[in-house]
Amino acid sequence: MADREFGFETLCLHAGQIPDKETGSRAVPLYQTTSYVFDDTNHAASLFNLQTFGNVYTRLSNPTTAVFEERMAAIEGGRAAVATASGQAAEMVALLNIMESGDHIVSSTKLYGGTYTMFAVNFKKLGIEATLVDPDDPENFRRALRPNTKAIFSETLGNPAINMIDIAAVGKIAREAGIPFIVDNTAASPYLCQPFKHGADIVVHSATKFIGGHGTTMGGVVVESGRFPWDNGKFPSMTEPSAGYHGVRFYETFGDFGYTMKARMEVMRVYGPTISPFNAWMLLQGLETLPVRMDRHCANAMGVARFLRDHPRVAWVNYPGLEENKYHALTQRYMPKGAGALLSFGIKGGYDAGVKFIEGLQFVSHLANIGDAKSLVIHPASTTHRQLSEEDQVKAGVPPDMVRLSIGLETLDDILWDLDQALA
């Protein structure tokens, strides 16, 4: 079986798990434990010295979480992964693993509001500076590079701007600069887009969204491709002895999963943004139906986009699946199975009309989330991006009249009915 390249749907159901011989459990067991018994003192010492693989404490690793991590690495086409408590935690771990005070990051401006704040405010307090650029022209990333730039960051599909990044073009710029290209693939999901195939080096997810799929469970994950040359001279923390972990040289010792081991042992261990085993177990349930759900999300979203495009009360619609959309060609290239569940639109009448619309919906839920099996709506300028100035909101792709929809799995005609009656 090891010689076969299994399909995506099969990996979502089986990757990372062999049913245990003791119980024969077909489902992944939930190991709800904080710690693990050592064989003897030598075994304990070898675990702490990273000479033996095994579990020490659930802040570092857990058998249930390990299945989730291996499964995520498999469906992204990556080498290894580390799970975190949330998507925000995943971004923090991914970047703090290779950055320190005095370093610089270049990022797309089209970001989720919490990520924008992390880069522009919180990282700045740590001495890490971010330059945010318009991602529609990949050369903007190159122009913003500095000698101390340690990463380029972007979302696959910007949330809530719903812009498509040219992954291959930006990845080429990062490669030529000798720095990793980190991609947040949350809005696309691994089923619709696999950034490693196009030049990304590290992928992060808010697994809270489409991975879990039901709005019940928080989680995040960082996946590494295993292909980035960390010994190129720009990342001494990956190649020199670790002051925080017994002098181990992570890249020399662990090779193509050295980045993940460093993230686990230096960032997760110290800062502690660990996912609970129960949450990892819940996210595994979501992964099992990810391909089926994403097909339905895409089909429903396309139907909604066409309906809104032709509606007399709608001023504009942004959905990359529409042929006239400016990102349609890029989306066809990187997301051939579908353009995802997110779309945005503007209502004639502006802000006040948007308020009436949201309050008039019957079952489309008004809340701050995406990727649920249920359809969701929000006004980003007054919620997720409220902390930004009006100027920065526009840079982030959030005009004041924008309404964002995350289209769920309901009967399409029912979704259209609710939208139509609220617009009326």
pLDDT at 1: 47
Tokens of 300: 């429903």
pLDDT at 56: 87
Locate CATH 3.90.1150.10 in the chain. 290-423
Around 252, how many Cα atoms within 13 Å sit in the side-chain half-sphere?
9
Query: Which of 215, 306, 226, 212 is CA-nearest to residue 259?
Result: 226
Tokens of 77: 């086409």
Locate CATH 3.40.640.10 in the chain. 8-286
Tokens of 335: 């997301």
Taking only the tens place, the pLDDT of each residue in 20-41 is 888 889 999 999 999 999 899 9
Record: fold of 290-423: Aspartate Aminotransferase, domain 1 (3.90.1150)
d(CA 155, CA 161): 10
Q: What CATH architecture applies to the domain 8-286? A: 3-Layer(aba) Sandwich (3.40)
Q: How many helices (H) and strands (E) does the chain have?
A: 19, 12
Task: Compute φ and ψ for 283, nearest 5 degrees.
Answer: -65, -30
pLDDT at 52: 85
Taking only the tens place, the pLDDT of each residue in 209-253 is 999 999 999 999 999 999 999 999 999 999 999 988 889 999 999
Burial 250-286 (b: 16+ CB within 10 A, else e): bbeebeebbbbbbbbbbbbbeeebbbbbebbbbbbeb
pLDDT < 50 regions, the chain:
1
The number of beta carbons lying within 10 Å of the beta carbon of residue 125 is 8
- Angle among Cα 239, 91, 144 to the nearest 5 degrees reads 75
